[in-house]
């Protein structure tokens, strides 16, 4: 099975840590959507979209990447890190319109946040993702592809 994760992780590299843990353990290819905007994904069986959350949304480059490059009828999954650890995947809708994608998994965890006023108090979710989060992420991926 050929899998790839499209990632944007611009705040503290929190999401990238999660993605790298999966990549290292499971040999999944990773693309940085901030620097790479085009890729032929037709040969991939499983495509992940991973992002920190900014203003309740996946990074614009990840949404745009999906809109531009995601072929129709693919299996996809989502990974996010955020201060609130909620499901923000609705914000990917613009990138998935007309793609007939099947969502086969979602993983999220807290990520260290020093945005705006939170910086003054040393940030929130310091140390996250931690080892436990990375272990959970790898487990999530392994279960998903089982």
Ligand X SMILES: Cc1cc2nc3c(=O)[nH]c(=O)nc-3n(C[C@H](O)[C@H](O)[C@H](O)COP(=O)(O)O)c2cc1C
The residues binding ligand X (CB under 6 A) are 9-16, 52-56, 81-84, 111-113, 115
CB 3 within 8 A of CB 94: no
Residues 6+ apart with CB under 8 A from 69: 38, 39, 40, 41
Q: How far is the CB of 72 from ligand X (least distance, A)?
A: 28
Structure tokens at 103: 């969502």
Residue placing its CB nearer to ligand X in the complex, 36 or 56: 56
Q: How far is the CB of 71 from ligand X (least distance, A)?
A: 26
Residue placing its CB nearer to ligand X in the complex, 6 or 75: 6
Q: Could you tell me which of 72, 79, 96 has the C-alpha nearest to residue 8? A: 79
Name the DSSP letter for residue 124: B
Residue placing its CB nearer to ligand X in the complex, 58 or 141: 58
Residue placing its CB nearer to ligand X in the complex, 48 or 52: 52
Name the residue with the smallest CB distance to ligand X.
Answer: 111
**Facing residues of 56 across strands?**
none
């Amino acid at each position: 099975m050929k899998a790839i994760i499209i990632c944007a992780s611009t705040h503290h590299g929190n999401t990238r840590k999660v993605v790298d843990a999966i990549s290292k353990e499971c040999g999944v290819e990773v693309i940085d959507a901030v620097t790479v905007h085009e890729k032929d994904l037709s040969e991939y069986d499983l495509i992940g979209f991973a992002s920190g959350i900014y203003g309740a949304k996946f990074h614009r480059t990840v949404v745009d990447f999906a809109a531009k490059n995601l072929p129709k009828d693919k299996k996809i999954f989502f990974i996010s890190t955020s201060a609130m650890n909620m499901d923000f995947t609705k914000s990917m809708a613009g990138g998935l319109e007309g793609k007939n994608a099947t969502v086969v998994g979602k993983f999220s965890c807290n990520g260290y946040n020093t945005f705006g006023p939170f910086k003054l108090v040393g940030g929130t979710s310091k140390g996250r993702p931690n080892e436990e989060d990375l272990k959970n992420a790898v487990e999530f991926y392994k279960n998903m592809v089982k």
